[in-house]
Structure 1
Amino acid sequence: MVLRRKLALFSASLAVLSGLVLAEDYLVSSRYASAKSKRYLDSAGNYNISIIHTNDIHAHLDQFRATAGTDCDPRYECAGGYSRIKTKVDQLRKGAKDSLLFSIGDEFQGTLFYSYYGGEKIAETMNVLGYDAMTLGNHEFDGGDDKLAAFLANLTFPVVSANIVTNHTGISSILKPYHIFPQHSLAVIGVTTPVTKGTSSAGPGTNFLDPIEVIQATVDAIKTKEKITKIVAITHLGYEQDIELASKTRGIHLIMGGHSHTLVGSMPGAAGPYPTIQKNLDGEDVFVVTAYRWGEYIGYLDIAFDPAGRIAAYTGGPIRLTNTTAQDPIMQAKVDAWRAPFDAFAKEIVGSTTGLLDQSGCQSGECTFGNLISDVMYDYRIKSGGNVDGAFTNAGGIRASISAGNITRGDILTAFPFGNAIVDLSFTGKELWDMFEGIVSKVNSAGSAVTSFVQVSQSISITYDPSKPVGSRLVSLKVSDPLQAVDLTKTYTLATIDFLATGGDYFLTTPKTDFIVLDKLDEVLTAYVQEHSPITPAITGRITKLSSK
């Protein structure tokens, strides 16, 4: 896989990509590219089609500061935005009118466009771009089933998720397990991560079945009922889970994924190649692809399916959309108009930071933004008379980084868009040990998968060894100021957020109900930044991961 500025692609793709890749980084992988000679059926009996995919846009309708996700600043490289995505999709489709455009979910939550409008403007934008199908992500349920149903009713294309079972008629009347594109004799199946139940606000009558079992059953049904062999999946599960899905099923040869915000390709920092190829139960190649997050990249594949539905030839890769990509003027005018009602508020400067408040590493260890927000929570409770021993929050609740320089209200709301409030919770030392053991083992004591890493205040210290067996990875836990080894019989009070208190991310085996909701997290952070700027981000060693020997 190599980065090129001009590529020898399939003959049918040359008209599409020549002149387009000069402006963007286009990371290309190909196999037997010469096998593709025309659209639809070629001389070898293979069916040729182009596929474009996006995932985890998270309401980034407008361009944003690259790698940070906050509002675009002319001092930094800016990326993404739906007006750039539209430009690129329109260009790709000019030479590939048979192409299909898929969204892999999590269009909701992440910027003020969602906070202010809900799903209304997102639906309008997706309709304008001409998406062919979508699956649902966990954040589509953040506003509850009613708001999701209203969003779905505004879409002009099919929405698929085979593993969602719901008694909400506004959802069930629109959602379907798969969709057939008869002009291509191709089926697309969707699935949504089962962790949605613990990470979002799906109603009590909405549940999520095991995606592997459901995918296989749906593939078998399609082959029997529809007599179709070309079957692809759009899966909001995560990159590693997609690889597992590929290895444990048969009959699907392309999986387009989302949820984990995984960078794939040959660029620095990539977790794997684009496509990542995994053998299925029949020993056949399954292509797994994803397109990072926020619309900074879109994925593009030219594929030749053989008569059995296997991929005989392909070329393609992730296309990065930066300042060099023109913005569609009509789409951008809409976005600018939608931004106007909250723009002045979002641009208000509340303070500054001397360095990067980094979100990108929060799910794998101690991070500067995690340290700040946990210390802010602890400071807030101490100064307001709370008798707390420390503070903790979920890494998944930190949604964007903030670069060195001024901090705006919009930056803070983009980083913490959920409207969570601070609460105090009491634990015995044994309960604290079990909770942190579950977090570092990724499985709580009740056997539920923990779906986020943790960030803690300076008055908490964690040491763990990931090479140890699940349930025995926590090596030490210290709490209080000054730090002391946790006493398993003592009672401690920690500040956290209401989302975790009620069972979110499965930190707690039993959700709490006996707590008082205090001030909102974003408001507390804003007040702290105003009082303490400039902020000096730092890694202090409060979370230690022992190296395996």
Structure 2
Amino acid sequence: MNRMKLLTIAILAAGITACGGEDGKDGATGAQGPQGAQGPQGAQGPAGETGQQAPAQEETGSPMTLSVLHMNDHHSHIAAEGLGYDVSALNLTTQNEAGAAITEVEVSYGGFPMMVSLFNSLSAQSDNLLKLHSGDAVTGTVYYSLFKGRADADVMNQICFDAFALGNHEFDDGDSGLANFLDSLNSTACETPALAANVVPGSGSAIAEGYIQPYTIVERAGEKIGIIGIDIAGKTKNSSSPDDDTLFLDETTTAQQYIDELEGLGVNKIVLMTHYQYANDLTLAAALDGVDVIVGGDSHTLLGDETFTNLGFNPVADYPTVVTDAAGSTVCVVQAWEYAHLMGKLEVTFDASGEVTACDGHPYMPVSTEYVYEYAEGDERILKGADVTRVTTALTSEDEIVAVQPDATTAAIIAVYDEDVDVLKQTVIGSNATDLCLSRIPGDSRSSICPSAATYERGSDISNVVAKAFLKVSPTADIAIQNGGGVRVDLPAGDVTIADAFTLLPFSNTLVILDMTGQQIIDVLEDALAAHFDDGGSSGSYPYAAGLRYNVDISQAKGSRISQVEVNSQVAGSWAAINTGSVYRVVTNNYIAAGKDGYTTFSVPFNAGDYEDTFTEYAQGFIDYVEGLTEEGQMVDKLPDSEYSTQVFIDATGCNHSTGAGCDM
């Protein structure tokens, strides 16, 4: 039995008050945030009184089942997205222009209009309900770039979560940016406690007073449930932008401290909302005494069965994952993937003493019943008639897939934001000092504003600048590598707008960081060149980099084309020869990190899960870079020759583009 897993008479500290709440938030109570770098000595209530521990007294409690509806890491993905669904075995009657039966339809799934409907539907079917969001609500799409969390808050308030745990990306715009988001989140009748037990704001922080709490206490069926928030400490401090004096305490120590405090207050059902990664959650559960449920985030982990595998996704373990704590008691661990793609529903059964006796449930993916198919090239149509029923029946034959009508109110909220998107995309974020020309390889003619001679010697101006942007917004990385095909247009001199960034970098790629040896870095450059010049002729695989420079000789054999490789970490020091045995941190986009476009060597650590996903879309990374330059009174500009990744380029004929040696004149 867990320590102090005895029900107690509800004698709570004066600093904790019971208050009615809307949408099932009955009996919600809360404690204010940590009061010092070493953590608080007692939880403070709304009036600032220090909570006193109530004496533990035995009484006969009641068994109960708690329903937890949860999501995490939606990262400003508030609209639905699409997946291709194979319908070749369904005997549909719909045909394409050529008279053949269609074989695939696009299915819209996830997004807040459908998520709100799903939460509402399952809430109505559930007793003793909690609705939780385990962090990283913001950063990742144009909705955040333009609206800085207001759009996210507005759709989250349609669900009205009982608690929200801070994630690392909540600090991307500093403590003041977080305060603005939390103001929006609590601007309606729906008031959502923001939980972060191990976050200690500095004295001058915008969130220092009244914004965050270590935990909240809710009451369901006469039973008190404590909910504690834990943020991932090192990652938030080092890879986001919290204020310098905002501290992040050890996750395990802090979690145990507040478990003990809640048990001292007679609370024997403890839920940790952790933005701490699935693998860390399993380790955390084993180290703690008294935790019952961990609702996690940060690693974007999909838990579930072959239902998701059959749709082309990759679940990594069972939902829920059932483990034991340090005392041998059952702990239910869950997470709900990413991007508002699905909602988890966990059913936890407690006995009269507060011990978990059963964990059950599964994720739900909401899908629309409006399916799109390709009638002819460039001509997409909506599926009609009995074929709609056939597709819906096939999709929903598994419990995890639910046909849902989007919530009209939430859809209308998003539509209002969408009306502003085209206007706000014209927002000027900086200035560009000179035309930055595009090319795929040195000397090609991709540019619409520059002659090929402008990029003949060292290749694309703008691709090198993009690589540097990714490096500078990833301060823990040493170097950046970007494929030429991921950069789509020139950047003319003049104002730079948000629209320019999304035109320049239009794909939904995110920035990821991998630890690689110097030899692996050389190998990945060789991979990229081989993909372009040998292995099918990928037009976009030519490598550009920042903090990394090299000579390229295409006339050499495959695997021997890269030489004179030098590194200058963060372009903050001097250039030195790469050490093939040393480990460097490489930021790149998740597309080529997965081995796409010929970048095979990247895929080894990536597919093994040995990488850090910043979950920052690469267009947003460029926006952040330009805005940073503007704040410093600088402009985007062509890089010095010494920073171009390709220092010397010798083409397949042996022509040296720098000296002219070997060229037909």
The 1:88–1:411 alpha-carbon spacing in structure 2 relative to 1, beyond 3 Å, is farther
**Among 180, 190, 208, the residue aligned to 2:217:** 180
Output aligned runs, 1:27-426, within 5 Å.
45-66=62-83, 76-96=106-126, 98-154=128-184, 155=186, 156-167=191-202, 168-173=204-209, 174-183=211-220, 184-194=223-233, 195-224=235-264, 226-267=265-306, 268=309, 269-323=314-368, 324-343=403-422, 382-383=458-459, 409=502, 412=505, 415=508
In the alignment, the residues of structure 2 paired with residue 336 and residue 457 of structure 1 have an alpha-carbon distance, to the nearest angstrom, of: 44
In the alignment, the residues of structure 2 paired with residue 381 and residue 345 of structure 1 have an alpha-carbon distance, to the nearest angstrom, of: 38
TM-superposed deviation, 1:139: 0.8
Q: Deviation per CA, 1:133-167: give whole Å up to 9, x if none.
A: 00011111111111101111232211111111111
> C-alpha root-mean-square deviation of aligned residues, in Å?
4.7
The 1:437–1:332 alpha-carbon spacing in structure 2 relative to 1, beyond 3 Å, is same
Aligned residue number for residue 35 of structure 1: none
Sequence identity, in percent? 25
TM-superposed deviation, 1:322: 1.9
TM-score of the pair, normalised by structure 1: 0.61
In the alignment, the residues of structure 2 paired with residue 345 and residue 417 of structure 1 have an alpha-carbon distance, to the nearest angstrom, of: 22
TM-superposed deviation, 1:492: 1.8
In the alignment, the residues of structure 1 paired with residue 519 and residue 207 of structure 2 have an alpha-carbon distance, to the nearest angstrom, of: 33
TM-score of the pair, normalised by structure 2: 0.51
Instruction: Give secondary structure in 1 for the equivalent of 2:228.
Output: strand
TM-superposed deviation, 1:542: 4.0
Gaps of 5+ in 1: 1-42, 68-73, 347-370, 399-403, 421-433, 441-452, 462-476, 499-507, 512-520, 526-535
**Among 529, 536, 539, the residue aligned to 2:598:** 539
Instruction: Give secondary structure in 2 for the equivalent of 1:320.
Output: strand
Instruction: Give secondary structure in 2 for the equivalent of 1:116.
Output: helix
TM-superposed deviation, 1:304: 1.7
Query: Across the two proteins, how many residue pairs are aligned to each other?
Result: 390
Kept in 1, the 8 Å contact 2:528–2:598? The answer is no
Kept in 2, the 8 Å contact 1:80–1:297? The answer is yes
The 1:380–1:197 alpha-carbon spacing in structure 2 relative to 1, beyond 3 Å, is farther
**Among 496, 506, 516, the residue aligned to 1:436:** 516
In the alignment, the residues of structure 1 paired with residue 172 and residue 219 of structure 2 have an alpha-carbon distance, to the nearest angstrom, of: 34
Gaps of 5+ in 2: 1-59, 85-103, 369-402, 426-439, 447-454, 475-479, 481-485, 490-498, 530-547, 554-558, 573-581, 609-665
Q: Deviation per CA, 1:349-382: give whole Å up to 9, x if none.
A: xxxxxxxxxxxxxxxxxxxxxx99xxx9xx9993
In the alignment, the residues of structure 2 paired with residue 82 and residue 134 of structure 1 have an alpha-carbon distance, to the nearest angstrom, of: 16
TM-superposed deviation, 1:253: 1.4
- State which drifts further: 243-252 or 312-321: 312-321
In the alignment, the residues of structure 2 paired with residue 410 and residue 281 of structure 1 have an alpha-carbon distance, to the nearest angstrom, of: 52
Aligned residue number for residue 465 of structure 1: none
Kept in 2, the 8 Å contact 1:231–1:309? The answer is no
The 1:337–1:219 alpha-carbon spacing in structure 2 relative to 1, beyond 3 Å, is same
The letter for the 1-side match of 2:74 is I
TM-superposed deviation, 1:383: 2.6
The 1:250–1:435 alpha-carbon spacing in structure 2 relative to 1, beyond 3 Å, is closer
Q: Which has the larger radius of gyration?
A: 2
The letter for the 2-side match of 1:259 is D
Kept in 2, the 8 Å contact 1:391–1:495? The answer is no
The 1:214–1:411 alpha-carbon spacing in structure 2 relative to 1, beyond 3 Å, is farther
In the alignment, the residues of structure 2 paired with residue 55 and residue 317 of structure 1 have an alpha-carbon distance, to the nearest angstrom, of: 15
Kept in 2, the 8 Å contact 1:65–1:77? The answer is yes
The 1:142–1:149 alpha-carbon spacing in structure 2 relative to 1, beyond 3 Å, is same
In the alignment, the residues of structure 2 paired with residue 262 and residue 200 of structure 1 have an alpha-carbon distance, to the nearest angstrom, of: 21
Kept in 2, the 8 Å contact 1:229–1:307? The answer is no
The 1:209–1:486 alpha-carbon spacing in structure 2 relative to 1, beyond 3 Å, is farther
- State which drifts further: 90-99 or 283-292: 90-99
The 1:509–1:319 alpha-carbon spacing in structure 2 relative to 1, beyond 3 Å, is same
The 1:92–1:411 alpha-carbon spacing in structure 2 relative to 1, beyond 3 Å, is farther
Output aligned runs, 1:518-533, within 5 Å.
none
TM-superposed deviation, 1:204: 0.2
